[in-house]
A and B are shown apart, each in its own frame.
Chain A
Amino acid sequence: MSVLINKETKILVQGITGNMGKTHTGLMLKYGTKIVAGVTPGKGGQEVHGVKVYDTVQEAKEKTGATVSCIFVPGFYALDAAYEAFDAGMELVVIITEGIPPHDEVKIIRRANELKTNVIGPNCPGIITPGECLIGIHPGIIYKPGKVGMISRSGTLTYEVALTLSNAGIGQSTCIGIGGDPVIGLGFKECLRLFNDDPKTEAIVLMGEIGGTAEEEAAELIKKEIKKPVIAYIAGRTAPPGKRMGHAGAIISGGKGTADSKVKAFKDANVEVADIPSQVVALVQDAIKQPIKV
């Protein structure tokens, strides 16, 4: 078991003939991911790393049985690509693209909610079930199969923590990069529920950052519903207010979205908060020794 994806998952890549699409299709195939099709309008019939390219998502799905799409198309084309994936009946759409205008993101997420399609991202590293399936741009080599579920707003920070966990012999069930933009699909709350219901996951690591209130809402949910131990880390304690820190969503505005507020929310919910990324390991080790709350 794992969350959302496993070794049987069939994936198509939208934007497979672009630089990013081509490079990462190669890396995903090497990891063992079942990429069954690519889509680039007007390039149907070509091949990328031996994967057949189709003109439309509909055709790619009919010919291959793909159920998940991974989108690499440039920012201004992502809305159209996502709509195409939704209308073709994809069950999960992973949007790697960075720089999608928020007005488009609102439309993408609204449409996904109407159709009850799961979206991961945008502006995210994707999702990985170590040893089985990698969708997106995670460096697969860092991860090990195991029992810790990871949810994160940041790509490289996830790699950092996953690396220290793996080095300490602690593997991961599934790692989801939910994305660093203000409007995203699956958030902390949805992912916490997925891991809570996943028999293979014993502890959950949640990596947040400044901006918005998703961490505070996650803390509320943990208090009410989540039975498994959660370990949190928040980046941006030294970030100045009013400045966008790289991610479009990482900004303290009007006094809201500070690291202090998020740390406090987690502590109030009895969630262990790591002061520094490397401390996550010890907190996870402590947590998985304890029996799960009933």
Chain B
Amino acid sequence: MKLFEFEAKTIMGSIGIPVPKGQIIKVAEEVFNLKLQYPVVIKCQVQSGGRGKAGGVKFADNLDETYEIAKKLLGLEINGIKTSSLLIEPKTDIEKELYVAITLDRGRKSHILLGSSEGGVEIESSDSVKIIPVQTEYKPYLGRKLAKSMGLSESKLNMVSEIINKLYSLYENYDLDLAEINPLVFTKDGKILALDGKMTVNDDAIDRQPFFQGWEINHLTDVSERELKAKIAGLNLVELKGKIGIICNGAGLTMATMDLVKKYGGEPANFLDVGGGADEGRVKRALKLVADNPNVKIILVNILGGITACDEVAKALKTFAVENVDKKVVVRLLGNNQEKAAEIMKGTGIKSIDNLDMAVKEAVALGGKV
């Protein structure tokens, strides 16, 4: 779960990381109640990178300008996501911009501290980023090591390492995938300030983080309505542009089935993994979600039952066929309880093909061709 900038900064501020004192607005007219010194910076609150480039950050010198900008920015689409709130903060006089972040390094199997003395928008592609792995437990000297590697000295070294200590405590205590400050700035009057903040809470850990209970539903702005419904139903759905709806069990097999569709001349309409051990109800919900996508011309169901019982899948398919006579379905159903499943599938009119390549070719032929 990606937090919005204003949430990340509120949390950072609560443990003593200095952040600008800003206000959040959802309606342009709220600018008339601002209690801020001009000039100000107005920032779209979206869960997407590339905000600055997309024109989602503007400066204003007075109230009139702020109002005009707020009207334009509210509703602005940034990488397909609509802006529904703005963060307005006093403009900072910047002496130097830095970048610090903490995340997991899969290759090293450890958490890493990242830092650069060249903060700003293009940091991901910069080679100035220094990395300090947290090989055992985090200790404050690691923060100092990072600050030193960033070329900092004297009081600046201590100021930055203190920020890293605090950021790490958030990273650890809140089960974060990412904690990032970019830019972290030194102001012209010698203070340190987190001008932007990113925090991503790990999806598998949210249930043990009391602070974030109930937050998820308000943070799924970058998914379609059906993807949102799937998420709530505990299904993994990612929608794509094609015409062949795909329902599989297991992430790898689902991806392989998508790849096969493409290979045989079709385009997948989605990735949908029903997971291991899906029962009739779960498969029914999956079928409905895929069928509800107006682009879908045919549904390809590929189940290789290990934990999943094929007869449960067949029951769901039978009901679906009765209720949706107009929907074309091709099925490949093998494994656990496949004989029972074959018995249930008899008379449903659904094509069942054991060979995966043949099943995919059939789905493409029956209406999935690009």
Contacts and interface: CB of A to CB of B under 8 A. Distances in A.
A237 B357 CA distance: 17
B345 interface: no
Contacts of A276: 256, 259-260, 263, 357
Interface stretch (A2-10, A33-41, A56-64, A245-253): A245-253
Given A106-B110, A183-B104, A247 B258 contact: no
Contacts of A214: 106-107
Contact of A235 (B110, B124, B252, B304): B252
Contacts of A254: 124
A192 to B, nearest CB: 16
Interface in A128-162: 137-139, 142, 152-160
B136 A125 contact: no
Contacts of A154: 250-253, 255
Nearest to B227: A243
Contacts of B104: 102, 106, 182-183
B91 interface: no
Interface stretch (A87-95, A194-202, A204-212): A204-212
Interface residues of B, number: 48
B208 A247 contact: no
A186 B334 CA distance: 30
B306 interface: yes
A245 B238 contact: yes
B99 interface: no
B252 A207 contact: yes
A194 to B, nearest CB: 19
Interface residues of A, number: 57
B259 A155 contact: no
B203 to A, nearest CB: 8
B109 interface: yes
B335 A160 contact: no
Interface stretch (B9-17, B69-77, B154-162, B268-276): B268-276
B252 A238 contact: no
Contact of A238 (B248, B268, B273): B268
Nearest to A212: B106
A277 B255 contact: no
A236 interface: yes
A109 B238 contact: no
Given A154-B251, A238-B268, A278 B107 contact: no
A205 to B, nearest CB: 13
Interface in B98-124: 104, 106-107, 109-111, 124
Interface in B232-264: 236, 238, 240, 248-256, 258-263
13 contacts: A102-B204, A110-B110, A139-B306, A152-B252, A154-B250, A155-B250, A156-B249, A157-B256, A210-B255, A217-B107, A235-B253, A240-B238, A245-B273
CB-based closest 5 A-B pairs: A154-B252, A246-B251, A156-B250, A157-B252, A101-B205
Interface of B: 104, 106-107, 109-111, 124, 136, 172, 175, 177, 202-205, 207-208, 236, 238, 240, 248-256, 258-263, 268, 271, 273, 276, 304-307, 334-336, 356-357
Interface of A: 23, 75-76, 98-103, 106, 109-110, 125, 137-139, 142, 152-160, 163, 180, 182-183, 207, 209-210, 212-214, 217, 233, 235-240, 243-250, 254, 275-278
